[in-house]
Amino acid sequence: MTESPLTTPVVFLLGPVPVTLPVILTWGLMAAMTLGSALATRRLRVERPSPVQTVLELVVETLRQQIAETMQTDATPFLPLLGTLFLYLAVANLSGLVPGMKAPTAFLETAAALALIVLLASQALGIRRRGLWSYLKGFAHPTPLLLPLNLLSELTRAFSLSIRLFGNVMSGEFVIAIVLSLAGLFVPVPLMALELLLGLVQAYIFTILAAVFIGGAVGTIEKG
Amino acid sequence: MHIDGWTLLLQAVNFLILVWLLRRFLYRPVLAVIAERQAATERVRSEAEAARQAAEAARQSLEDQRTALPAERDRLIAAARAEAEAERAALLEKARGEAEHALEEARSRLAEERAQALEGLQRHAVDLGIRLATRLLRDAPAAVLTVPLLDEACAAVESLSAPQRHALADGIDPVPVRLTIAAPLPEGDTARTRDRLATALGRSVALELVEDPSLIAGVELHFAHSVVRRSWKQALAEAKEEMTRHDSERHTADAVA
């Protein structure tokens, strides 16, 4: 444990832009996920699908069902955003368990970027679905007196999303690193198993909360 | 704690790019194949539903046919019964006609046979009567039966007109007359007869006596071209002919009736 988990190491500079470690890791995950998807969906068949295709269909269909159950509407328009959110979070969280790797979500910028995207997407989708005036009126519901609090809650929800994700992933990795430095090779294995579960749970929680926020914004469910 | 704005921005852009990439390479193809499979499933389900409906329609049709079957059967049975009844009536009528025809024929044949039997019986009775009469007459004395008939024959010649009597004589003198008798006559009767005939004919008569028992009783006067018969043989023959003729006429009349 030689550096603070709250720092974001810069790998190289691209002109004035510092390219940090989570960005490099995310590029790697993006490449792997895109390549894997392209390879897996190369020969899809209606009759007698392959095991890989079956797993893909199961994952996509399960995501769609979960989002639909959460948002109480057809999930297909929201599947690319929310499904990618879950898949990226799951892959990113679990990548931290690979020796020599670090989860991009263990950096605050990544979690904040995802929360910011959810915040902006919920506003944009809400305005597009309900109209600007109707959407803005929703902030004064049930009484205009609550307008400041409602506006604040939008920001705090996004903030809590990012902090929850960042805190859980970062702390898990940090604890594992501490235990590993203190006790040796196999002692942190139970903690890593727990981190495995934790990473999937965090991905699920982040995605479900994002679905709830977007559903509340587009009006398919009651705004929380 | 410091947040690097560039990293935040790059991660956001990265994520949006990943959304686009996965949408392009994962969701779109997988959702397409799922939709295609659902469409295929729906198509199969629709076909199965159509087949089920067709089967249901066929079953309903069969059910309707089965329901209509008793009525159709009753109708066919009634039609067959009516046809059989008509055929039976026709057969009965035909049989009745044939029976009546046969009965009529039998009656006619019976009547004919009866008539024939009756006729034969009558003929036999007539023969029997004639034989009986012949036997009775033969046993009677000649004078009792023959003499009156001889007188009757002479009277018949006498009752003829003059030209007829002249024709009997035929211009011959003496007139040859053959007197056929059934039994010998007393001498006085023969002479008396010769005289009566000579008187009637106006000429002498050469009387030739011939005995013929077949006459039973009576006489026959044979002239050159004519015969005067007064005998039981002739009387019985005429009676027989008369009776036979009467019977035939009566039988013919019965048959026609």
Whole-number mean pLDDT of chain B? 86
The answer to whether residue B88 is domain-embedded is no
Contacts with B27 from chain A: Cβ below 8 Å: 60, 79-80, 83
CB within 8 Å: B33 and A53: yes
CB within 8 Å: A109 and B25: no
> Would you state the pLDDT for residue B254?
61
At A90, is the pLDDT very low, low, confident or very high (cuts 50, 70, 90)? very high
Buried b / exposed e over B231-242, threshold 16 CB at 10 Å, is bbbbbbeeeeee
Q: What is the 3-state secondary structure (H, E, C) of B41-101?
A: HHHHHHHHHHHHHHHHHHHHHHHHHHHHHHHHHHHHHHHHHHHHHHHHHHHHHHHHHHHHH
User: What single letter denotes the amino acid at residue B190?
Assistant: T
Residues of B with CB under 8 A from a CB of A: 1-4, 6-12, 14-23, 25-27, 29-34, 36-37, 40
Chain B nearest CA to A85, separation (Å): 8
> Would you state the pLDDT for residue A20?
92
To 5 degrees, how large is the angle CA A194–CA A198–CA A200?
125
At A1, is the pLDDT very low, low, confident or very high (cuts 50, 70, 90)? very low
Q: How many CA atoms lie within 13 A of B253 on its CB side?
A: 6
The answer to whether residue B198 is domain-embedded is yes
To 5 degrees, how large is the angle CA B22–CA B26–CA B28?
100
> Would you state the pLDDT for residue A84?
96
Enclosing H/E stretch for A99 = none
Alpha-carbon separation of residue A152 from A139, A145, A149, A155 (angstroms)? 10, 13, 5, 5
Residue B23 to residue B17: CA distance in whole angstroms:
10
The answer to whether residue B18 is domain-embedded is no
Residue B256 to residue B115: CA distance in whole angstroms:
12
CB within 8 Å: A6 and B29: no
The answer to whether residue B168 is domain-embedded is yes
Enclosing H/E stretch for A11 = strand A10-14
**What tokens does A159 get?**
């903030």
Domains: count for chain B: 1
Identify the CA nearest to A7 among candidates B2, B5, B8.
B2
Chain B nearest CA to A29, separation (Å): 9
> Would you state the pLDDT for residue A115?
94
Enclosing H/E stretch for A18 = strand A17-20
> Would you state the pLDDT for residue B142?
67
> Would you state the pLDDT for residue B65?
87
Listed in order, strand segments (DSSP E) in chain B are 175-181, 205-211, 218-222, 227-231
The answer to whether residue B107 is domain-embedded is no
The answer to whether residue B111 is domain-embedded is no
To 5 degrees, how large is the angle CA A37–CA A39–CA A40?
65
Each residue of A8-60: pLDDT tens digit? 888 888 888 999 999 999 999 999 999 999 999 998 888 888 999 999 999 99
> Would you state the pLDDT for residue B207?
86
- Nearest CB among A61, A81, A110 relative to B19 is that of A81
- Taking residues A144-164, report their average pLDDT: 89
The answer to whether residue B212 is domain-embedded is yes
Each residue of B200-209: pLDDT tens digit? 888 888 888 8
- Nearest CB among B11, B17, B21 relative to A113 is that of B11
> Would you state the pLDDT for residue B251?
61
> Would you state the pLDDT for residue B250?
66
**What are the residue ranges in chain B where pLDDT is below 50?**
none
- Taking residues A63-89, report their average pLDDT: 94
The answer to whether residue B151 is domain-embedded is yes
**What tokens does A3 get?**
């550096």
| Range of the structural domain that residue B218 is part of | 140-256
Residue A148 to residue A135: CA distance in whole angstroms:
15
Winning range, highest mean pLDDT, from A93-102, A208-217, B211-220 = A208-217
Q: What are phi and psi of B226, to 5 degrees?
A: -135, 160
